[in-house]
């Protein structure tokens, strides 16, 4: 059985790690290089680094910080924010990223998934999906949660897999930063619709929430930010808790 992954997320703005609630109310959370180093030592399985304002500010993710982080860790590392072209991806992979995460550009031009998967391989292409419920439907949002689209979540992730995406990073905007638990229903639906891994994001507050998203949400990985940044949950203790509850995890 494949192990479930625990993934801290570093949302970066102006060179600092930040965190908000439902994509607003941003506050500082520390130095990204120091946090990345500490998470790698604590047993995190991967890291995700998102330049959260790169798309809306119409600029590229800064490769210099990516390079600094990559030189300080020994675990896989995904980078996203402002990625629009094959050249952007090549630059970030050269800087040390293992995978890239693409969101807004893929919705606006879905063929970019085909191009990136064809050149760099599906294993490098993570489709980030920011979604929000409207009644009994779930819609995709762009530009850091600022722009609603007419695309519904399930058809979009299925199309992305068909085009060559190797993984889905699914963030529930309704749950983001609330610490009330992951969005189990949409996570379960997405996981059940695909043959590629699904990373659940948004809502982690207690160890029990991670257990729920693995058992009930059928996620392959769980991503969180503030509970790790502000030392509310320790990665080592979380993994021990999951192990004791029969969830397969990599123990250090």
CA geometry: angle 104, 123, 196, nearest 5 deg? 80
Can you spell out the DSSP letters for 7-35? EEEEEEETTEEEEEETTEEEEEEE-HHHH
Are residues 30 and 17 in contact, defined by beta-carbon separation less than 8 angstroms?
yes
Q: Is the dihedral of CA 55, 5, 7, 132 positive or negative?
A: positive
Q: Pick the catalytic residue: 88, 130, 176, 220? A: 130
Q: Please report which helix (H) or strand (E) contains residue 78, including its range.
A: strand 77-80
98 is an active site residue: no
Are residues 100 and 89 in contact, defined by beta-carbon separation less than 8 angstroms?
yes
**Residue spans of beta strands (DSSP E) within 89-163:** 99-102, 125-134, 137-142, 147-152
130 is an active site residue: yes
CB atoms within 10 A of CB 179: 16
Q: Pick the catalytic residue: 11, 51, 176, 220? A: 11
* Catalytic site positions: 11, 130
């Amino acid at each position: 059985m494949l192990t479930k992954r625990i993934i801290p997320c570093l949302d970066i703005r102006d060179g600092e790690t930040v965190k908000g609630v439902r994509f607003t109310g941003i506050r500082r959370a520390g130095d990204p290089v120091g946090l990345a180093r500490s998470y790698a030592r604590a047993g995190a399985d991967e890291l995700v680094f998102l330049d959260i304002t790169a798309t809306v500010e119409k600029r590229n993710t800064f490769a210099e910080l990516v390079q600094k982080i990559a030189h300080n860790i020994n675990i896989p590392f995904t980078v996203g924010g402002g990625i629009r072209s094959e050249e952007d991806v090549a630059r970030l992979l050269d800087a040390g990223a293992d995978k890239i995460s693409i969101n807004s550009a893929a919705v606006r031009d879905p063929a970019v998934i085909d191009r990136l998967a064809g050149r760099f391989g599906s294993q490098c292409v993570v489709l980030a999906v920011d979604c929000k419920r409207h009644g009994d439907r779930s819609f995709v949002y762009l530009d850091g949660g600022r722009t609603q689209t007419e695309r519904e979540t399930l058809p979009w992730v299925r199309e992305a897999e068909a085009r060559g995406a190797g993984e889905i990073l699914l963030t529930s905007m309704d749950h983001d930063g609330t610490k009330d638990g992951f969005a189990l229903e949409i996570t379960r639906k997405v996981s059940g619709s695909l043959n590629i891994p699904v990373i659940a994001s948004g809502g982690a507050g207690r160890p029990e929430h991670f257990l729920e998203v693995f058992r009930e949400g059928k996620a392959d990985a769980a991503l969180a930010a503030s509970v790790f940044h502000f030392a509310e949950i320790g990665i080592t203790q979380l993994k021990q808790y999951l192990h004791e509850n029969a969830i397969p995890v990599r123990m250090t």
